[in-house]
Amino acid sequence: MKARVLIVDDQERMAEVIATALAAAGNECETARDGVAALKLLDERSFDAMVTDWKMPQMDGLELLRQVKLKLPQLPVIMITAYGSVSSAVAAIA
């Protein structure tokens, strides 16, 4: 059975690269350009996992993570960022 993965990134090219890699591994992927669009897709469809960028306009990945965990606490979420630090990693798991 293929896993359904939601990829959230405001940079379309990055979302496509991640989707291509995950699809090559046998997953079904959908993309959203921001947190608001991602929440809408999560309301409309079921996903087995979500990959989200940390830095995005309107709603950053940390706020998206908080909202997703309230609605779908069992959904695995992978956060990616080019601006990582120990403090940001701690904030994501707190």
| Cβ atoms 62, 89 nearer than 8 A | no
Inter-residue contact 60 to 86 (CB < 8 Å): no
Domains, the chain: 4-93 (3.40.50.2300)
Q: What is the DSSP letter of 3?
A: P
The reported pLDDT for the residue numbered 27 is: 97
For residue range 20-72, list pLDDT tens digits in order: 999 999 999 999 999 999 999 999 999 999 999 999 988 999 999 999 999 99
Mean pLDDT, to the nearest integer, of 85-89? 56
Which pLDDT score is estimated for 30? 97
Q: What is the pLDDT of residue 84?
A: 59
Query: DSSP label at 2?
Result: P
By the 8 A CB rule, do 2 and 28 touch?
A: yes
